[in-house]
Amino acid sequence: MSTPAVPDTVCVIGGGRMGAGIAQVFAARGAEVSVVESDGNAIAAARARLTAGLAKAAERGALDTDPGTILARVAVVSDLAALPPHADLVVEAVPERPELKVNVLAKAESVVGDQAVLATNTSSISVGELGTALRRPNRFLGMHFFNPVPTSKLVEVVTTPDTDPSVIQRAQEWVRGLGKIDVTVRDSPGFATSRLGVLLGLEAIRMLQEGVADAAAIDTAMEQGYRHPMGPLRSTDLVGLDVRLAIADYLHTRLGDRFAPPRLLRDMVARGELGRKTGRGFYDWS
């Protein structure tokens, strides 16, 4: 069976945590990649992320080419107008602000040709709403990568009613070309992952609040009883309680009361107990 292909030319807008990872995985499979960053400092930071990411991948034995050769396939630029017009795929990975995403996507669309597929890596914003500013919403969809991109297997392919079936198929094939696993989800709040993952986390926090069991017992119940690789409270600590609260607030407005954040979550965020990154969450990480 032949290995599925990745696109020849990929543009990534935003070279942060996610964008640098996305650029790395496509370049490692042979694609020519252009990353757009906002200014000189951000360009240097994006290059440093790529270099560090490739060094880690080499250490894991995950590369079949040396890191220098892969890095040479990546150009980091500061102007969307410098993107190659023949790009096959543009992935937007700028911060989670709708007006910023709409702006860079529309600019990128005006530079690349009609052949290009445009994708957003948003974790929560409606893909359909981001697509309304585009001239070719039929060539637009969500490609929701997970953090850290190089070692996370899943990519959610998020489709809108406008997305052309051939575009969906290409995105699915490209995900497989990266050696990752695609699930296709209709554009809806929280897609498949956040919607279920956050709900489980919220219920675990309500159980802790009600004194049903302590955090370790709740996590062990899911890990050992249901074979989840990580319990919902430990996982909330790793993602960040503030990040989870923001998503829960958003899903609450869109999907109703079952996503209402519990008091305990709000109180912990107010106290700065945000999980691993602050040293304290449901567990002590200091």
Ligand X SMILES: NC(=O)c1ccc[n+]([C@@H]2O[C@H](COP(=O)([O-])OP(=O)(O)OC[C@H]3O[C@@H](n4cnc5c(N)ncnc54)[C@H](O)[C@@H]3O)[C@@H](O)[C@H]2O)c1
Distance separating alpha carbons of residues 277 and 286, to the nearest angstrom: 9
Minimum Å gap between C-beta 252 and ligand X is: 18
Which of these ranges, 33-41, 165-173, 191-199, 200-208, lies near ligand X under the rule CB under 6 A? 33-41
Minimum Å gap between C-beta 94 and ligand X is: 4
The two tokens of residue 47 are 């290059």
Among 7, 15, 142, 281, binds ligand X (CB under 6 A): 15
**Binding status of residue 268 toward ligand X by CB under 6 A:** no
138 in Cβ contact with 163 (< 8 Å): yes
Q: Which is nearer to ligand X, 70 or 102 (CB)?
A: 102
One-character DSSP codes across 69-112: HHHTTEEEES-GGGS-TT-SEEEE---S-HHHHHHHHHHHHHHS
Among 31, 36, 70, 245, binds ligand X (CB under 6 A): 36
Q: Give the total of residues touching ligand X (CB under 6 A).
A: 21
Among 69, 132, 147, 209, binds ligand X (CB under 6 A): 147
94 in Cβ contact with 13 (< 8 Å): yes
Distance in Å from the first CA to the final CA of the chain: 49
Q: Is the peptide bond before 84 cis (omega within 30 degrees of 0)?
A: no
190 in Cβ contact with 184 (< 8 Å): no
Q: Which is nearer to ligand X, 27 or 93 (CB)?
A: 93
Binding string to ligand X for residues 59 to 98, with x set by CB under 6 A, is what? Answer: ----------------------------------xxxx--
Q: Which residues bind ligand X (CB under 6 A)?
A: 13-19, 36-38, 42, 93-96, 104, 121-123, 146-147
